[in-house]
Amino acid sequence: MGKPDEQTTGPAEVDSGRRHFLKSAGYAAVATGAVAMGGLGAAAEAAADGRRPKKPAEKVVVPTEPIGSIPRPAHLIQANRDFAAGRITRRELDQHREQALRDTIERFIETGSPVITDGEQSKPSFATYPVAGLRLNPGGQVVPFADGHTRQLPLLTEGDFRYQAHGADYLRETRAVLKTIRSKAELPVKQAVIAPSMLSMFYPPLGIRGYSRAQFHEDLVNEAEADVRGSLDAGAHKVQMDFTEGRVSLKLDPDGGMLREFVSLNNEVLDRFTPEERQRIGVHTCPGGDQDSTHSADVDYARFLPRFFDLHAGNFYLQMASERDRRSVLALVREHIKPNQRVFVGVTDPITSRVETPEEVRDRVLEAAEFIPLGQLGTCDDCGFAPFADDKSTPRDTAFAKIRARVLGTRMAAERLGA
């Protein structure tokens, strides 16, 4: 193939071959919402009087979404520390958060990202916002990362378990800021929430006097449902359950019992939603991402993905860019994805400092399109850029540059696939 960007006949022929492959394999290109509606109407009319339906004009759309977190600016990291040490008031901390949120939203808009997040500026971490402020025991599960550092989960000390913050709280703050930015009030916002399976590890192994595991389980499922439903009701474009503990669970319990329990618990929550609602709910898997290191990249996707696609969600956000053998993972996805599921493949790697070029991203999307029907394909970043608030390993500029590459590269691929 020639230089990817050149409009020569060579690449065009390759593309036409690819399209032929996609179509012959039953992979119809997805139409835009409006065209699809018109197309379906025309098809139904034609079917009624026996004519062959007129082929609607096709435009390939490959949706692209962020995962969630953006590194916090230095002033917010310092303010979090100062607040924890009692040096500043809650009001002062909130001012830092609001300033960081506004800057994050403005920079997100500049990337051209069709869907944005709040960058989780106000969350202490992707996993612990529901318990922030509770009386906790620090002695929970230790999660070791490949570079030698660890994170330790907290343990609850009392019931009844109630989330201290919900996704909708963050979403409303984001919407309030968007309303002040001309013409951006309606920009789609995605809300990340933590999977109940992660929080299930916060119940102490020895139990809590007067608050049984069964009671905790019931509270947890109710609260996790409220977290998702509140975000849906507040107008989230998508609600994404972060399920980073899925893959690492196969390290903690190689027999897979823990993973089965996690999937079953998460499905208990997902089953409380209608199939239509589940099309706006997603689940994210990754090998962890903290201080430019991972905790479970060495766990073979082949052991994890079949169970992952058992989750009753409509959208699946997969770390993929940093996989060593992407084609074999894509083949696994093709094998296990179900008809009502869309997979968003990671095309940028938050762990590496080098910013991907849009052309690299485009080629990763084209590669994925060889395996995944276009109507079920989307792109995302491999993970959030700073799931923990104190993680300074990635500069904000790098995160936004990678997001811009994802957006541009995905658009380039969609144009190539629809040409």
Site stretch for Zn ion (CB under 5 A), options 20-28, 44-52, 212-220, 279-287: 279-287
- Among 59, 51, 53, CA closest to 28: 59
Tell me how far, at minimum, the Cβ of 408 lies from Zn ion, in Å.
22
Do you find a cis peptide bond into 363, omega within 30 degrees of 0? no
Look-up of token digits 């070029």 = 357
Is the CB of 228 or the CB of 412 nearer to Zn ion?
228
- Among 86, 68, 162, 85, CA closest to 122: 68
Tell me how far, at minimum, the Cβ of 361 lies from Zn ion, in Å.
18
Tell me how far, at minimum, the Cβ of 179 lies from Zn ion, in Å.
29
Tell me how far, at minimum, the Cβ of 125 lies from Zn ion, in Å.
12
Is the CB of 80 or the CB of 319 nearer to Zn ion?
319
Is the CB of 30 or the CB of 290 nearer to Zn ion?
290
Kind plus residue range of the DSSP H or E element containing 213: helix 213-233
- Looking only at residues 26 through 85 of this chain, which bind Zn ion when binding is defined by CB under 5 A? none
- Looking only at residues 223 through 262 of this chain, which bind Zn ion when binding is defined by CB under 5 A? none
392: tokens are: 């300074």
342 bridge partner residues: 315
Is the CB of 39 or the CB of 167 nearer to Zn ion?
167
Q: Select the residue interacting with Zn ion from 383, 403, 407, 408 (CB under 5 A).
A: 383
Tell me how far, at minimum, the Cβ of 87 lies from Zn ion, in Å.
32
CB 238 within 8 A of CB 115: yes
Q: 3-class SS at 35?
A: helix
Site stretch for Zn ion (CB under 5 A), options 40-48, 174-182, 259-267, 380-388: 380-388
- Among 192, 195, 202, 122, CA closest to 161: 202
381 bridge partner residues: 348
Look-up of token digits 């971490």 = 125
Q: Is 171 in the site for Zn ion (CB under 5 A)?
A: no
Site stretch for Zn ion (CB under 5 A), options 20-28, 103-111, 196-204, 379-387: 379-387
Longest dimension (CA), the chain: 76
**Cα–Cα distances in Å, from 298 out to 242, 263, 329, 335, 398?**
19, 20, 13, 21, 25
Tell me how far, at minimum, the Cβ of 375 lies from Zn ion, in Å.
25
Site stretch for Zn ion (CB under 5 A), options 114-122, 204-212, 366-374, 383-391: 383-391
Is the CB of 61 or the CB of 296 nearer to Zn ion?
296
Is the CB of 288 or the CB of 358 nearer to Zn ion?
288
69 secondary structure, DSSP code: -
119 secondary structure, DSSP code: T
Is the CB of 175 or the CB of 247 nearer to Zn ion?
247
- Looking only at residues 96 through 115 of this chain, which bind Zn ion when binding is defined by CB under 5 A? none
Tell me how far, at minimum, the Cβ of 216 lies from Zn ion, in Å.
25
Task: Supply angle C-alpha 265, 257, 333, rounded to 5.
Answer: 75
Length of the chain: 419
Tell me how far, at minimum, the Cβ of 90 lies from Zn ion, in Å.
29
284 bridge partner residues: 242, 317
Q: Is 351 in the site for Zn ion (CB under 5 A)?
A: no
Give the integer Cα–Cα distance in Å for 169 and 83: 20
Give the integer Cα–Cα distance in Å for 419 and 16: 8
Is the CB of 14 or the CB of 146 nearer to Zn ion?
146
Q: Is 286 in the site for Zn ion (CB under 5 A)?
A: yes
What is the size of the binding site for Zn ion (CB under 5 A)?
Answer: 2
- Looking only at residues 129 through 168 of this chain, which bind Zn ion when binding is defined by CB under 5 A? none
Site stretch for Zn ion (CB under 5 A), options 178-186, 193-201, 302-310, 376-384: 376-384
Is the CB of 386 or the CB of 412 nearer to Zn ion?
386
Determine how many CB atoms are found less than 10 A away from the CB of residue 169. Answer: 17
Tell me how far, at minimum, the Cβ of 191 lies from Zn ion, in Å.
15
* Cα-only R_g, the chain: 22
Site stretch for Zn ion (CB under 5 A), options 85-93, 210-218, 382-390, 391-399: 382-390
Is the CB of 346 or the CB of 373 nearer to Zn ion?
346
215: tokens are: 């009671």
Tell me how far, at minimum, the Cβ of 285 lies from Zn ion, in Å.
7
Q: Phi, psi (5° rounding) for residue 70?
A: -125, 140
Tell me how far, at minimum, the Cβ of 211 lies from Zn ion, in Å.
31
Residues at the site binding Zn ion, with contacts judged by CB under 5 A: 286, 383
